[in-house]
């Protein structure tokens, strides 16, 4: 979700963000991401996923990417890869600029738009349970909410609703925009109302246009259909079944509990002043971006998702019905796909929230999963540097990678304020 907004752009499409940084220190398999399935999981595949078709990660190259991000303004960066029971971790720089404490993969952080995948999973579970239909109008469940009865649940989850992203206005100026909402508490309806001040950008289903409004609507659907809070839905349906010990949804509480990495937000003008953006309600995002987690927990989550432990096979397939974003990226239902130079596609989500870039992706079989974090945002250079790490993580050393697409695509937008282009 948020960051570097140097000038207002006219395009409302967005490219996926961030990047993935990975490993260096191998740890025992007992620290691996995939926990055993329990009775609350929706197990589908009995076969064990493998990574036989993937080159070994270039962990030395990934470390160099992290170090490069530090030279470009990130106070710290870390990454973890879970690879069929083998775990690698790497970290560079600091979690706290005041104390100088080193960043570490044990730290919690704000995951931004990775939250969207949590929201989508809950809604697809509700489809499995027969209480939600993807191709039914949102207004059938939330009467009168949206201006067009043609907007379906599927349109919302695939960013094809046409709903304007209110964060374009909220964060047109980075630091002032953030300070204006840092401690504010919004209702879901207030956020939708901000969006509806602008007309639909396209007819329902006609085009992909990333908008945080869509997953605010997703949160409203969860609360209407379950009769419980989004926090409760995440906890009972995802966090507890997967044993995610570092993951929480504390809105509107502002603090991150336990050991955590601080986030640092640069201003629009490069004057060297960084704002400690760690504590905030994230009420401007909620079900679109307010989850707190760790590299270990996000690896667990996406591995479990692609292994079929969170939804039925049918709904996982629906999640992977791709809308084209650009030549190397697709968006499904709360899930991103990125196509790498070696012919491998990876699945997960990117996330930006003030002071944090997150990238969390897994292989098709869920066997190799990577989560990376840099504790900065509003920095297009770091954003693009981090994007390059996927090649090393999943394709191996450059000599082993295919040459057709040797460079990661340049990222021009972020998960928040997608209409505001980066320099």
Q: What is the set of active-site residues?
A: 113
Beta-carbon contacts of 31 under 8 Å, excluding residues fewer than 6 positions away, are 87, 296
Q: Is 369 exposed, middle or buried (0-12, 13-18, 19+ CB in 10 A)?
A: buried
- β-sheet bridge partners, residue 358: 351, 373
Show the CA angle centred on residue 317, arms to residues 314 and 322, nearest 5°.
150
For the chain, what is the total number of helices (H) and then of strands (E)? 14, 15
State CA 93 to chain mean position distance.
22
Distance separating alpha carbons of residues 345 and 183, to the nearest angstrom: 39
Show the CA angle centred on residue 335, arms to residues 330 and 339, nearest 5°.
40
| 3-state DSSP assignment of residue 387 | helix
Q: Are 78 and 103 in contact (CB under 8 A)?
A: yes
| 3-state DSSP assignment of residue 40 | coil
Q: b/e string for 200-218 if b means 16 or more Cβ within 10 A?
A: bbeebbeebbbbbbbbbbb
Beta-carbon contacts of 176 under 8 Å, excluding residues fewer than 6 positions away, are none
In 3-95, beta strands by DSSP E: 7-8, 25-27, 76-83, 86-93
Dihedral of CA 248/250/251/257: which sign? negative
Tokens in use for 60?
């030395």
- What angle in degrees, to the nearest 10, is found between the helix axes of 59-71 and 380-387? 180
Q: Is 47 exposed, middle or buried (0-12, 13-18, 19+ CB in 10 A)?
A: exposed
Residue 384's H or E segment, with its range, is: helix 380-387
């Amino acid at each position: 979700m948020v960051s570097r907004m140097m000038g207002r752009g006219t395009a409302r499409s967005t490219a996926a963000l961030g990047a993935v940084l990975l490993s260096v220190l191998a740890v025992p398999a007992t620290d691996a991401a995939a926990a055993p399935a329990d009775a609350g999981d929706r197990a589908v595949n009995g076969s064990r996923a493998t990574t036989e078709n993937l080159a070994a990660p270039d962990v030395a190259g990934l470390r160099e990417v992290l170090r490069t991000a530090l030279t470009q303004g990130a106070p710290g960066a870390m990454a973890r890869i879970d690879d069929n029971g083998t775990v690698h971790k790497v970290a560079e720089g600091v979690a706290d600029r005041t104390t100088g404490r080193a960043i570490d993969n044990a730290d919690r952080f704000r995951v931004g738009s990775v939250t969207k995948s949590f929201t989508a999973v809950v809604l697809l579970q509700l489809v499995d349970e027969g209480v939600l239909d993807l191709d039914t109008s949102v207004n059938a469940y939330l009467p009168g909410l949206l201006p067009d009865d043609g907007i379906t649940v599927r349109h919302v989850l695939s960013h094809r609703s046409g709903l304007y992203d209110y964060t374009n206005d909220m964060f047109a100026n980075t630091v002032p925009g953030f300070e204006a909402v840092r401690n504010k508490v919004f209702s879901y309806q207030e956020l939708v109302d901000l969006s509806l001040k602008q007309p639909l950008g396209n007819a329902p289903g006609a085009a992909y246009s990333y908008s945080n409004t869509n997953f605010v609507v997703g949160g409203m659907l969860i609360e209407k259909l379950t009769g419980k809070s989004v926090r409760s839905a995440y906890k009972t349906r995802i966090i507890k079944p997967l044993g995610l010990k570092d993951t929480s949804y504390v809105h509107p509480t502002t603090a991150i509990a336990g050991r955590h990495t601080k986030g640092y937000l640069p201003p629009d003008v490069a004057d060297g002043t960084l704002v400690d953006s760690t504590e905030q309600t994230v009420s401007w995002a909620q079900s679109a971006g307010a989850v707190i987690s760790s590299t270990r927990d996000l690896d667990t989550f996406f591995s479990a998702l692609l292994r079929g432990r969170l939804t039925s096979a049918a709904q996982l397939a629906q999640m992977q019905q791709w809308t084209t974003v650009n030549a190397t990226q697709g968006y499904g239902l709360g899930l991103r796909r990125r196509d790498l130079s070696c012919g491998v596609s990876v699945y997960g989500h990117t996330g930006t929230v003030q002071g944090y870039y997150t990238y969390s992706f897994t292989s098709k079989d869920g066997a190799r999963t990577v989560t990376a974090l840099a504790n900065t945002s509003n920095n297009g250079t770091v954003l693009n540097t981090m994007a390059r790490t996927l090649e090393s993580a999943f394709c191996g050393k450059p000599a082993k990678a295919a040459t057709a697409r040797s460079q990661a695509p340049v990222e021009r937008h972020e998960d928040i304020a997608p209409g505001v282009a980066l320099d």
